[in-house]
Structure 1
Amino acid sequence: MEELRDLSTEEKLKIVTNFLLSSPPGEADEVFNDVRVLMADDPALQTGILDALREYNTEQYITVKLPGQENQVLVSKFGQIDNDLYLDPKSHQAFRFDHMNRRATEVEPRPPVEETEPLRTAVEAAITNYVEDHFKDGVSSVYSTENGTITIAIVDNKYNSSNFWNGRWRSTWVVNPESGKLKGNIKVNVHYYEDGNVQLDSNKDIEVETSTTAENPAAAAAAYVRLIGKAENEYQTAVNESYIELSENTFKSLRRSLPLTRQKLDWDKILNYKIGQELSFTKIAEPGPTSNK
């Protein structure tokens, strides 16, 4: 702590920014409160950390409800109009996002890109059904992006702090309607912190393609979503299999699960034996009978 107090404000901000950008899913508030204590300068912290919060929220696909709406929408760089103004392509609205308090305000209409809107709408309908079927709390957005491409963003969060773990799934798919190629990226981050600190941080790039053209938006959208579903299912299966391998083979090769007797040790019983043994050594012999001579 003494060394930290000797640092300049800029140096402290650099340290706390790195902490914040590394926050596990669902734990950004706890990390912020911790670095706030380290910083010990609220005005400087709230001003200097705003860019980091903006980066974290957009990269992590933070979700928010727009005023007067029940559905969650994504905050992502694909819908970023300026620093704090974002697009919800589903409702054709823009909204101002407060990165510090994670609130949406100043909702206004935003017309769609006419050239790509038929395909974007078809992909949105197909991907919405897919997310509802495959992700318990999934949220998705489908954006018209550069050079006529369509970008799909999916996020699903599972927070279970009472059992000391939190997790987040993020997948991003960029569709090129002319070539039929889909470039995807899947990121999974899980943090387990009961009596320790273990994280899974997985990142996989995927590229697939289809011969379907955008002339029939509904057929093209269905083809894209089939490919996405197949790729994501294969990835999840591979992750599950790697964990089974880790549990059943890798860890067992590092340490015996059972002693040579192939019986589990009852440590409570062994402790009782030890205590009884020690008492037998310290027991004082009772005096024998004395003679009356």
Structure 2
Amino acid sequence: MAAAAAAAAGAPGSTDGAQGLLARSPPGQFDIVAKEIRGIVGADGFPDAAVAAAREAHLKSERPVLEVGKGHFVALCPEGQVGPGKFVDSKRAAVVCVDMVTGKPSEGGDGDGDAAAVLGEAGSPVRAAREAVVGELETYAGHAFSFRGTKHGAVEVFVSGEDLTVVLSGVKTRLDNFWAAQWQSTWTVSGAAGASPSLSGSVRVTTHYFEDGNVQLRAAKDFAAVPLKGAATPEKLAEAVRRAIADTEDAYQAALAAVVQSVEGETMRDLRRAMPLSGQPMAWNLNAHRFRRALPSAKSGAGSSS
């Protein structure tokens, strides 16, 4: 990673290359990469403004999660950003201030941004739908993004006109075991307060494994709109949204697992040479191999006797 950081640092006085590298950091490793870059070019060569700009670009594409209280996570995403370093926590209907250099909640706690802009007007049908959906999906996220009883993901639900935008993001890292992974999905509930709502969205998966190498898997898939039936009330809508998302994500995860299995069982096998360079099948005969190993010593013995 350090070598890549040095190569990407760019011309003296320019931070564009390093910013791009940092913005594409693997899951949960933004601050590690930032430290590596600064270790190479120095803090003056990569100032706080460059780190903040890279983090801004990173959250727009990766939607990382931030723990803002014990066991409470917020997905930092452009859909919920209401100002520089200000992000809406849609579960608590509050604005969280984030230090864009360190990535930590800044002093002062909740900010004073206009959360109503993305939460919907009080008393409106679409806001009632949002509150029901975020409550239902909070339970789903707690189940989907937990590992050995520890939660590591978040859900956010925002209002956009008459629609809802759902953001699900889970990040799990075990850097001591050389791996990290993220699952993120974004969904649109069209006509959330109407008579015929529908759901469409996309899923992105990133895994990073770096023991004795550096391998990343990046997969993405878009899902066309499907009707949400039986969603006559906010509560029924929330249940329909949860079922549709859970079914779609479970099916996609199963498909990814099948692909991984096929790589091991078929793709890697197809890459193997069918025959050795000699053109002869490998002889799995232990006695034959013992005889072959004995030939050089026999020749040397014959030469010495003559």
Aligned pair partner of 1:146 in 143, 147, 160:
160
Question: Percent same amino acid among aligned pairs?
Answer: 23
1:124-273 equivalent positions in 2, closer than 5 A: 124-136=134-146, 137-176=151-190, 177=192, 178=194, 179-212=196-229, 215-255=232-272, 260-261=281-282
Q: Which runs of 5+ in 1 are unaligned?
A: 287-293
Q: Do the aligned partners of residues 282 and 165 (structure 1) sit closer, same or farther apart at CA in structure 2, a change above 3 Å counting?
A: farther
Shift of 1:215: 4.1
Q: Which runs of 5+ in 2 are unaligned?
A: none
| Cα RMSD for the two superposed structures | 3.4
Q: Does 1:47 align with 2:57?
A: no
Q: Does 1:7 align with 2:8?
A: no
Q: Do the aligned partners of residues 243 and 4 (structure 1) sit closer, same or farther apart at CA in structure 2, a change above 3 Å counting?
A: closer
Q: Do the aligned partners of residues 35 and 282 (structure 1) sit closer, same or farther apart at CA in structure 2, a change above 3 Å counting?
A: farther
Partner of 1:95: 96
Q: Deviations over 1:80-118 (max 9, x none)?
A: 001211111111111210122121133147555222221
Shift of 1:76: 1.2
Q: Deviations over 1:215-261 (max 9, x none)?
A: 40111111111111111111111111111111111110111599844
1:142–1:152 contact (8 Å) kept in structure 2: yes
Partner of 1:122: 132
Larger Rg: 1
Secondary structure of 1:7's aligned partner: coil
Q: Distance in 2 between matches of 1:61 and 1:6?
A: 26
1:180–1:213 contact (8 Å) kept in structure 2: no
Shift of 1:182: 1.4
Secondary structure of 1:66's aligned partner: strand
Partner of 1:66: 68
Q: Distance in 1 between matches of 2:8 and 2:227?
A: 55
Partner of 1:33: 35
1:190–1:201 contact (8 Å) kept in structure 2: yes
Q: Deviations over 1:58-80 (max 9, x none)?
A: 4322222336x541122111110
Q: Distance in 1 between matches of 2:10 and 2:82?
A: 40
Q: Distance in 2 between matches of 1:63 and 1:236?
A: 21
Q: Distance in 2 between matches of 1:151 and 1:263?
A: 61
1:140–1:152 contact (8 Å) kept in structure 2: no
Secondary structure of 1:145's aligned partner: strand
Q: Deviations over 1:15-73 (max 9, x none)?
A: 10121122111222232122213323436432223211122134322222336x54112
Q: Do the aligned partners of residues 257 and 125 (structure 1) sit closer, same or farther apart at CA in structure 2, a change above 3 Å counting?
A: farther
Q: Distance in 2 between matches of 1:161 and 1:264?
A: 44
Shift of 1:262: 7.7
Aligned length: 278
Q: Distance in 2 between matches of 1:225 and 1:5?
A: 44
Q: Do the aligned partners of residues 30 and 211 (structure 1) sit closer, same or farther apart at CA in structure 2, a change above 3 Å counting?
A: closer
Q: Distance in 1 between matches of 2:49 and 2:285?
A: 57
TM-score using structure 2 length: 0.78
Secondary structure of 1:15's aligned partner: helix
- Partner amino acid, structure 1, of 2:40: L
Q: Distance in 1 between matches of 2:99 and 2:285?
A: 55
